[in-house]
Structures are given as structure tokens and as C-alpha cells.
Amino acid sequence: MKVTINDVAKYAGVSIKTVSRVTNNEPSVKQATIDKVNEAIKALNYQPNLAARNLAGTKSYVIGFIYDNPNAYYIIDMQNGILSACRDKGYELLIHPCDATADSICEELTALVKHARLAGLVLTPPLSEDPKILAALDSIEAHYVRIIAGDKTKESCGLTVLVNDRHGAVSITQHLIDLGHKHIAFISGDEQHESTKERFAGFCDALSLNNITLNPAFVIEGQYSFESGVEGAKQLLSMTPRPTAIVACNDEIAAGALFAARLQGVDIPRDISIVGFEDSPFSRQTWPKLTTVHQPNQKIAQVATELLIANRKEQRLDSAKVFTPEPVVRDSSSNPG
């Protein structure tokens, strides 16, 4: 027989309303009462009916994850991080892929918020960086948290989780310079992503700090994809002289570059060093394994969701949190040959 809220209330010796307040994470419930109800929930293996809660009340318990990103590993990490926070706080997760460049994107997202009765949205790049999308969501008073590249934000920018990509790019480029590299190339990600600009800026910062002149020919435009890394590496390897190291804007690009190099009989890292960014499974599945920058995407998503839910409950938390990615040295980087 299915356990009901009545069973939990009876077991805990409290009213049904008190059980409801505890499962809804409402404030001003005494900790002793919360512990008593949670003990009853655990003992009876009670599963609150979240769908019924959404239909019966004015409060929603669904968080929307909105994304436009071809990297499956990134999406899975984000999804798992959001789901972890949702489960912990008694929320459900709705996943909504979309095309950020579509003319109807603003109408699509505002309709989603209204029809699905979302408690809030977790926005990832490039959606989280588009002023038109943010303005459209603000116009319907939607609640959202943005995950964006950067190390600081304006006070009026709402809930934000920042990833200091620029610092990560400085660090990974400095690693190559410390190994003795001076002829370093850069394969870019998608232009519309702020992370691309921040990572390139960090790359340039490191060169400047070490009095190394940027070679414009060594900067290759690309996208966040394996294929882009293949094509970018082909261009760089055909140059004379060619670079001794490549900084790729993410691990997928780096894996493609490594693949192209090996097809041409170029030894990694003896003939050329290749480093990535994000520390995704791509970095550990290549041979040799990629030196990269660790970006804890799952934790970033979890913290963003916790921030969103906490502020929905009018708890006073900082409006912005910053993650600082750091290098992970593996086998794809060494002294120039």
C-alpha cells in the first residue's frame, strides 16, 4: 500500500499541514520538528507527489534547464549537477534544449516558463549571455540564475555563477611557457560564447606577461567541436615554421587537434604539445591523455541551482559565486623538441 502524507503525519505526531511545510522547505519550521518529520519520511520511505503539489498550489516545484550546446559531456555534467540540487530540495527538473539563434527564441522561453509553471531557470551560455533573452524573461518576472564566463559582475545582474575562464587560460598558457614554449597557437571556440573571448584574453595575457609577441597566423577561428580541432590543427601543422604548442579552447577541440596530428605522424608531445580546457572525459580518453584546465561543471550547476532555489525562498545569499579553473597536467605537454 502506498504511503501517504497522512501516514507520515501520524508517525511523526504532527499535523498534515506541518508535514507539507517541511516537504516544501518552508521557513520558520523548528529544526526539531523538521528532524521528526524527516525521520518519519525516511522510516516510511514516503515519496511526495510533486506533480500534485504543482497542480494544487500556487508554488511551483519544477526547475528548467535551458541550453544550446553540442557538447554532450558538458550537458550531462550540468544536468547531473542541477538534478542533485533538485532532489535535495524536493524539486523536479525539466530539460529544454533550444536554438539560441532562432528568431523565436524569446517567445519560446517565455511560453515555456508560463505553460510549465517553472519555479526558475538555469541558463547556460550562450543563452545566459544574451541581453534580449534576459530582457524577455525579466518582462514576465521569471526567476533565473545565469552561468557565465567572467570573474565579476554588476550588482544589478541578478543571480549569477561565474567561471573565471580568463584565469584558467592564463594558467594553462603559462604552463607551456614554463616548459620553454614561445611559439604557441590558439584554436578558438564559437564566437558568440563569452568563454571564447575570456579564454583568448587569458592566452594573450600570458604571452604579454612573458614578453612573447602574439603571432596572428597562429590564432585559428573555430567552434567547440572535435571537427573544428581537426581542421584547426591541419592549418597549423602545414605552416612553416609551425607552432611548438597549441592551446585549444576546450577538450573537444584539443582531442580533434591531437587526432589530426597523429594522422600526420606528429608525435605528441615530443613534436608539439596540445592542451585543452574543461577537463571533460575527452581529456582522459585520448592518447596521450590531455593536459587541460579543470572546470567542475557538475558542481557549478549544483551551486547555481541551490542559489536559485534558496533565493526563491527569500533566503539571503550572495547574488554571485565565482569558480576558478586550474590546470591539470597530464601527458600531452612537455618541453619543446
Task: Identify whether residues 73 and 88 lie together within a single domain.
Answer: yes
Task: Identify whether residues 278 and 172 lie together within a single domain.
Answer: yes
Place 46 in a pLDDT band, splitting at 50, 70 and 90: confident
| pLDDT for 24 beyond 70 | no
- How large is the average pLDDT for residues 247-254? 96
Highest averaged pLDDT of the listed ranges 28-32, 114-118, 148-152, 245-249: 245-249
Task: Identify whether residues 214 and 310 lie together within a single domain.
Answer: no
| pLDDT for 35 beyond 90 | no
Q: Which of 91, 120, 93, 125 is nearest to 297 (CA)?
A: 125
Q: How much is the pLDDT for 32?
A: 86
Number of domains, the chain:
3
Place 51 in a pLDDT band, splitting at 50, 70 and 90: very low
pTM: 0.79
Task: Identify whether residues 216 and 95 lie together within a single domain.
Answer: no
Place 48 in a pLDDT band, splitting at 50, 70 and 90: low
Share of the chain above pLDDT 70, in %: 90
| pLDDT for 205 beyond 80 | yes
Domain membership of residue 171 (yes or no) is: yes
Q: What is the pLDDT of residues 70-90, one digit of tens each?
A: 788 889 999 999 999 999 888
Domain membership of residue 330 (yes or no) is: no
Q: How much is the pLDDT for 25?
A: 65
* CATH number of residue 27's parent domain: 1.10.260.40
| pLDDT for 112 beyond 70 | yes
Task: Identify whether residues 201 and 249 lie together within a single domain.
Answer: yes
Domain membership of residue 12 (yes or no) is: yes
- How large is the average pLDDT for residues 217-233? 96
What distances in angstroms separate CA 144 from CA 59, 110, 311, one per listed residue?
A: 15, 12, 10
Task: Identify whether residues 81 and 145 lie together within a single domain.
Answer: yes
Domain membership of residue 155 (yes or no) is: yes
| pLDDT for 252 beyond 70 | yes
Task: Identify whether residues 154 and 79 lie together within a single domain.
Answer: yes
* CATH number of residue 128's parent domain: 3.40.50.2300
Domain membership of residue 306 (yes or no) is: yes
Domain membership of residue 246 (yes or no) is: yes
Q: How much is the pLDDT for 49?
A: 57
Task: Identify whether residues 129 and 204 lie together within a single domain.
Answer: no
- How large is the average pLDDT for residues 243-255? 97
Domain that holds residue 14: 5-48
* Torsion-angle region of 211 (φ positive above 0: left; ψ -120 to 50: alpha; else: beta): left
Better-scored residue on pLDDT, 15 or 237: 237
Domain membership of residue 313 (yes or no) is: yes
| pLDDT for 69 beyond 90 | no
Task: Identify whether residues 188 and 290 lie together within a single domain.
Answer: yes
Task: Identify whether residues 227 and 174 lie together within a single domain.
Answer: yes
Q: How much is the pLDDT for 314?
A: 58
| pLDDT for 318 beyond 80 | no
Task: Identify whether residues 160 and 304 lie together within a single domain.
Answer: yes
The answer to whether 269 touches 276, Cβ cutoff 8 Å, is: no
Domain membership of residue 98 (yes or no) is: yes
- How large is the average pLDDT for residues 248-262? 96
Task: Identify whether residues 158 and 171 lie together within a single domain.
Answer: no
